[in-house]
Structure 1
Amino acid sequence: MPNDMACAVLIVAAGRGIRAGGAVPKQYHSLAGESVLRRTLRRFAAHPDVQAVQVVIHPDDAHLYAHAADGLAGLRPAVAGGATRQQSVLAGLEALAPLAPERVLVQDGARPFTPAAVIARAVAALEKHAAAIPVLPVTDTIKQVAADGIVTATPDRDTLRAVQTPQAFRFDALLAAHRAAAAAGIDDLTDDAAVMEWAGHAVATFEGDPGNVKLTSADDLARAARAFADLPDVRTGTGFDVHAFGPGDHVMLGGLAIPFDQGLDGHSDADVGLHALTDAVLGALADGDIGAHFPPSDPQWKGATSDRFLAFALEKVAARGGIVAHLDLTLICEAPKVGPHRDAIRAAIARITGLPVGRISVKATTTEKLGFTGRREGIAAMASATIRLPLESSE
């Protein structure tokens, strides 16, 4: 992509969600210990094609949002939405305008299952189009019904599509369309594609995903909760990594830069902890190892930050309908001392993965001055990951 702010995501979470019932809006309902909105945020914040995430919330929900966003990296300060969806999207676009992103994806806050592949397709669609939306074929017969309940028409379902988010747009075009609609007093269009259509833009389509559902009713939330509860395929994977000391003034451990009188040698940033965790997650999936997916012979990974590797592994779990239940990391070295940084490392891993800190363990030990770590020649790491998958994802 041509600039550092090539793609931003605008997540609309200002609605009240009254059809879902309960004491809080639907986007803040809990699914297996995490709110719907947090699960949505995590998927986009961790995606490699996304450089910034802007969230629009209801001003009364600031405390709920703070909890949902806690520890997640890449999020800009939330802004207050308006009385309509159009007003909320425009508020979010204006907040993003100083960044001048080239592209923007607009996502429903209550759509927590969006696969990474759909996000990638949304970004790719903007190579050729100013506006593109994910769609699915309509399989049921659709009837047009009058106010008195009498059928007035049967549209040809071959020409119909069900629309999802994220909807993808060239940022300048979408901002101009929303500003023009607001100036004209039009604020009842149901999605951003409709705003672009009103402004005279052609809207392309790309393939959506049947699992990319929006949670609207209490029944939707109940089905989503059952989906997370019904993950009987519990797996554990392990990982191990070693890096030697080299020139430098810090070491990367678990996503945290720790000042030290040496660095760690490696093709990437040599974060031995994140490498071991990545291998543990991939091992639980029986999907190779970090070297198979990010070979050191490939120059694009030279100096890469290792958070990208771990996020990639977690996206593979999500793509198979699973969740990561627990991560356990043991760092083995004489120096630097890990103990004073343990909680900060756990927090850093939580930001990368979106997991609660309570599901992340970090320990440290020495080899009693035996072996290469005992001679202070480098650092080793062992990790384990526990994941849960649906049975149909097993092979």
Structure 2
Amino acid sequence: MKALSWHGRADMRCEQVPDPILVDPTDAIVRITSTAICGSDLHLYDGFNPFMEPGDILGHEPMGIVEEVGSEVRRLRKGDRVVIPFTISCGACFFCQKTLYSLCETTNRNADLARKVMGHTTAGLFGYSHLTGGYAGGQAQFLRVPYADVGPLRIDSDLPDEQVLFLSDIFPTGWMAAVNADIEPGDTVAVWGCGPVGQFTIQSAWMLGAGRVIAIDRVPERLEMARRHGRAETINFEEVGVYDRLMEMTSGRGPDRCIDAVGAEAHGTATLDSMYDKAKTMLMQETDRPHVIRETIMCCRPGGTISMPGVYMGAVDKIPMGAFMNKALTLKTGQTHVPRFHDELLRRVESGEIDPSFVITHTVPIDRGPEMYKTFREKEDGCIKVVLKPWE
């Protein structure tokens, strides 16, 4: 089959690799009809994750048709159309029973490694390094799906792939980011980052009762999407200071809820802390660039909540913990518990409340995947979200 595989920093290749097979009786094999490149894939592309190996297949936003099921699979059958969440969850462990699916303690095949790095293991993830189990990802023509009765969402309607594909990750991620922000009716919500997750965070904030949404980025087409589709007020951080502008917009109080939808590769324009981060990461003395999380702490109103769906990979420093503590802020974060939100979000799509396809800017055959990684990374050609078609 064709698949996109990682071979080092900025080295993605579309290659012929062996088709997956059933390994466990709870597995399914899915023929992928649509898959996508996620912003968090760029952290792997850029070499920020040290637990990648050449030949690893990336991708964690797939959907397709069930081709084969193991002998113990009861909920799916051949021919079912399914969206596959990026989390791999057993459904039976302590955390899965609490619907904390991304914390599943069963599915990470490299649990000992995860414990050494993070103190505990978390769930296995598709296509996201050997720290999370070393599972092949969904940027391929076929995918082996473990615990197939737990994660996949069956699509029984005739909605096109483009309207349901993002139930695999970025729509639930934006939704959980807004849920974690503890939005109360009328709140002012500031969202850092207008990439795909940021766009769905903006949409979700409105659906959860925000009175005002402010979007922060520097890429013109992303800011325009936030204005046009997200009805957000916008700040271009290359033109104005974010803190000063937010204080001006909120009469000095600051946003009630601040959401970091950027994560490990934050940019800050000519700020001392962003230059410090760039130097530290180049010298391998810091793994991530946490400019945004610092800024959210300084900007959020006292007693407010910070939500952090942006992915971080390792160690950061110069976090203003004094401000965080003295302002009595709350921080909530985590990989998304995707199946917890599936029914709610599918209902919103089916009712027409939201059409998630608005975020797509490029749809291409999987053969063009390597070039689209670069286009997406460099924010060229107005690229915000790439959908790959493995069979075209």
Does the TM-score normalized on the shorter chain lie above 0.5? no
Whichever structure has more strand as a proportion of its residues is: 1
Whichever structure has more helix as a proportion of its residues is: 1
Q: TM-score range by the shorter chain?
A: under 0.3
